[in-house]
A and B are shown apart, each in its own frame.
Chain A
């Protein structure tokens, strides 16, 4: 009741508060919450319970203590792999922003038919198995593949290390993750008032100035949402790095696999997993602070 005229809040939010309070005061109907039960059961049994198990293993295997985390942060390989993983995910994110931004913008200015077609082109890769696409990249990028063959005959450049390198990994990951950047960007851009750019130019802004002072700031929520999704998904990639990357330059998911399946070091493997989870949550929190007001999740309005 007393919050209705909370003085420190701007009017818009306090109005929203009034609405949600009215909902709470209405007689509670608990039956709709039964709809949550199946999802709740599945998440508890198959996600939360294993997660707790993973956490417990990371501090008890082989014996109780933080030795697995000490190992994690003191072993040089681990640090290198972590830095490489974050670096690759960041590179992929930047590549995706650069590729997706003009594409999403194009989607906002074309007619409905063309837009549907463009949307289809974005979604098409998502409907193809990631394994098939990775194998296709292997064929294309290998030393005797068509790209290197073309470079050899046309420019006389000997086989470039397109595969078994960070380049190949980043290329294939960008292709897989591009839709997760295009869709939130398009969603943010389609909400920008079309008259704002003519208004800016009428007020004396050159096209490039109008873009940086008006369009880019207004599309930032989309950049944030897309980048977060792409970056976090990129951290956990396993198939692409193991098939297209160098075995000497593995990423963190491969390291985990190695610890658990090859060395049977369950404690160290699970510690890596918990570390990756904690890092992800931390990034979400920090970016959430930075992007104040913007929704972090594509398609979810605040």
Chain B
């Protein structure tokens, strides 16, 4: 509305959007989003690295792009940052079309995987760099640098050179440098990839705290599903240049839409079978002769039932639950791992694939090679379409 008045005779962003036959609803969504991608495609030659994706990141949201390497998540981030051009589609940041805006005018913060600190400058000079480019007076620069260093708890390190800092400290300096000019959007490209587990968990908590403090829109790229599950407001799961599903951690974990999402997030046991029939509100799947009931329905005859390992209990072979609300299949134990909090069994499923079962101490224990029956509640099974592709399992 105000942008109309400012634009004068030149076509306003809204007018351009209207010419593209977008309805008022869509235009309003774009204008109120933190970041909006609409039919965005990135092609290198013939190959579409990012293939016609739609995504709305709400203002102030912590959004994670999760996916295996080569899935298009980093390319999408680079398009938002302005390091990669948009081949087709609309890219808006806080309602402004930015596809044609060069990177240095986008006013977006970014934390790189390898930190990308300037080695010839001190920590304080690194952080003052974006302030100098914005011609902020010297004395104000000093207080801003000090404040942001305090926020990332690196207050005493201003005069150090980046080479004298540990990986975790360098990452916090990189974060400070990206935050010092208060960008409305902060992008992070696998920022914790090079750090060890303890440090990574601590920095995850730090990043969450800083997100709450500054309230900017964060986009976080990772291939680590645990990191994604623990940090994000919402996760967009990338695969083969497309977004498979967008949702909260709980939604993605408990109600995946595709087999890929189910397998990529957390551990899973998947039974592959064929449609055998329908019961009220559910479907029966034939898994190598076993009739398995699952709630819901899906398109097609090639179906899969996904169960989370913690929802499965192992019983002696031949055990048959007496209630119809429990499902069971016979399995053979392939491997046993002691987890401390319980046991994890690798089991051979009737369909020939292997699955995972996690049980607590109180349950019966099974030896490697022994036979058992795997039992779960019908409601904890998730019916999915069997896309035929083998999901990449990450643990």
A residues within 8 Å of B by Cβ?
10-12, 193, 195-196, 198-207, 209-210, 213-214, 217-218
Cβ of B120 within 8 Å of any chain A Cβ, yes or no, is yes
Could you say which of A193, A201, A202, A204 has the most chain B C-beta atoms within 10 Å of its C-beta? A202
Cβ of B107 within 8 Å of any chain A Cβ, yes or no, is yes
B134: which of A198, A201, A204, A213 is its contact (CB, 8 Å)? A204
A217 touches B110 (CB 8 A): no
Using A203-B177, A203-B178 as known contacts, list a sample of 13 further A-B pairs with CB atoms less than 8 Å apart, ordered by residue number in A. Answer: A193-B114, A195-B114, A198-B103, A199-B110, A201-B82, A201-B102, A202-B83, A202-B108, A202-B109, A203-B181, A206-B104, A213-B129, A214-B120
Question: Would you mind naming 14 contact pairs between A and B with Cβ atoms under 8 Å apart?
Answer: A196-B118, A198-B112, A199-B110, A199-B116, A199-B118, A200-B118, A201-B104, A202-B81, A203-B133, A203-B178, A204-B104, A204-B107, A204-B133, A214-B120
**Which B residues, 117 to 131, have Cβ-Cβ distances below 8 Å to chain A?**
118-120, 129-130
Cβ of B163 within 8 Å of any chain A Cβ, yes or no, is yes
Cβ of B317 within 8 Å of any chain A Cβ, yes or no, is no
Q: What is the minimal beta-carbon distance from A97 to any residue of chain B, in angstroms?
A: 19
Q: CB-CB < 8 A to A11: which residues of B?
A: 164
Residue of B nearest to A196 (CB): B116
Could you say which of B104, B112, B119, B130 has the most chain A C-beta atoms within 10 Å of its C-beta? B104
B129 touches A200 (CB 8 A): yes
Q: CB-CB < 8 A to A218: which residues of B?
A: 119-120
Q: What is the minimal beta-carbon distance from B189 to any residue of chain A, in angstroms?
A: 10
Q: Given A11-B164, A209-B133: A202 and B104 within 8 A (CB)?
A: yes
Q: Given A198-B103, A214-B118, A218-B120: A203 and B130 within 8 A (CB)?
A: yes
B177 touches A10 (CB 8 A): no
Q: Mark B129-162, 1 if CB is under 8 A from A, else 0.
A: 1100110000000000000000000000000010
Q: Given A213-B129, A217-B120: A205 and B104 within 8 A (CB)?
A: yes
9 interchain residue pairs of minimum CB distance: A204-B133, A199-B116, A203-B130, A195-B116, A201-B104, A201-B103, A202-B110, A217-B120, A205-B133
Q: CB-CB < 8 A to A202: which residues of B?
A: 81-83, 103-104, 106, 108-110
Q: What is the minimal beta-carbon distance from B126 to any residue of chain A, in angstroms?
A: 9
Q: What is the minimal beta-carbon distance from B101 to any residue of chain A, in angstroms?
A: 12
> What's the tally of chain B residues with a CB closer than 8 Å to chain A?
28
Could you say which of B106, B119, B178 has the most chain A C-beta atoms within 10 Å of its C-beta? B119
Q: What is the minimal beta-carbon distance from A96 to any residue of chain B, in angstroms?
A: 24
How many Å lie between the Cα of A201 and that of B109 in the bound state?
11
Q: What is the minimal beta-carbon distance from A216 to any residue of chain B, in angstroms?
A: 10
Residue of A nearest to B105 (CB): A204
Q: Interface SS of chain A: helix, strand, loop or mixed?
A: helix
Q: CB-CB < 8 A to B130: which residues of A?
A: 203-204
B residues within 8 Å of A by Cβ?
81-83, 102-110, 112, 114, 116, 118-120, 129-130, 133-134, 161, 163-164, 177-178, 181
Residue of A nearest to B177 (CB): A203
Could you say which of A202, A203, A204, A205 has the most chain B C-beta atoms within 10 Å of its C-beta? A203
How many Å lie between the Cα of A281 and that of B109 in the bound state?
48
Q: CB-CB < 8 A to A201: which residues of B?
A: 82, 102-104
Q: What is the minimal beta-carbon distance from A200 to any residue of chain B, in angstroms?
A: 7
Q: What is the minimal beta-carbon distance from B180 to any residue of chain A, in angstroms?
A: 9
Q: CB-CB < 8 A to A217: which residues of B?
A: 120
Q: CB-CB < 8 A to A203: which residues of B?
A: 104, 129-130, 133, 177-178, 181
Q: What is the minimal beta-carbon distance from A188 to any residue of chain B, in angstroms?
A: 12
Q: CB-CB < 8 A to A12: which residues of B?
A: 163-164
B120 touches A193 (CB 8 A): no
Q: CB-CB < 8 A to B112: which residues of A?
A: 195, 198-199
Q: What is the minimal beta-carbon distance from A16 to any residue of chain B, in angstroms?
A: 13
Q: CB-CB < 8 A to A195: which residues of B?
A: 112, 114, 116
How many Å lie between the Cα of A217 and that of B120 in the bound state?
7
Residue of B nearest to A195 (CB): B116
Q: CB-CB < 8 A to B107: which residues of A?
A: 204
How many Å lie between the Cα of A204 and that of B132 in the bound state?
9
Residue of B nearest to A191 (CB): B119
Q: CB-CB < 8 A to B110: which residues of A?
A: 199, 202
How many Å lie between the Cα of A200 and that of B104 in the bound state?
8
Residue of B nearest to A213 (CB): B129
How many Å lie between the Cα of A198 and that of B112 in the bound state?
10
How many Å lie between the Cα of A199 and that of B120 in the bound state?
14
Q: CB-CB < 8 A to B116: which residues of A?
A: 193, 195-196, 198-199
Q: What is the minimal beta-carbon distance from A221 to any residue of chain B, in angstroms?
A: 10
Q: CB-CB < 8 A to B178: which residues of A?
A: 203
Q: What is the minimal beta-carbon distance from B64 to any residue of chain A, in angstroms?
A: 20
Q: CB-CB < 8 A to B120: which residues of A?
A: 214, 217-218
Q: What is the minimal beta-carbon distance from B85 to any residue of chain A, in angstroms?
A: 13
Q: CB-CB < 8 A to A10: which residues of B?
A: 161, 164
Q: What is the minimal beta-carbon distance from B215 to any residue of chain A, in angstroms?
A: 20
Q: CB-CB < 8 A to B105: which residues of A?
A: 204
Residue of A nearest to B161 (CB): A10
Q: What is the minimal beta-carbon distance from B110 to any residue of chain A, in angstroms?
A: 5
Q: CB-CB < 8 A to B129: which residues of A?
A: 200, 203, 205, 213
How many Å lie between the Cα of A173 and that of B270 in the bound state?
73
Residue of B nearest to A214 (CB): B118
Q: What is the minimal beta-carbon distance from B179 to any residue of chain A, in angstroms?
A: 11
Q: CB-CB < 8 A to A207: which residues of B?
A: 104
Q: CB-CB < 8 A to A210: which residues of B?
A: 104
B181: which of A204, A209, A213 is its contact (CB, 8 Å)? A204
Q: What is the minimal beta-carbon distance from B204 to any residue of chain A, in angstroms?
A: 22
How many Å lie between the Cα of A256 and that of B186 in the bound state?
66
How many Å lie between the Cα of A200 and that of B125 in the bound state?
13
Residue of A nearest to B127 (CB): A203
Q: What is the minimal beta-carbon distance from A84 to any residue of chain B, in angstroms?
A: 37
How many Å lie between the Cα of A152 and that of B222 in the bound state?
66
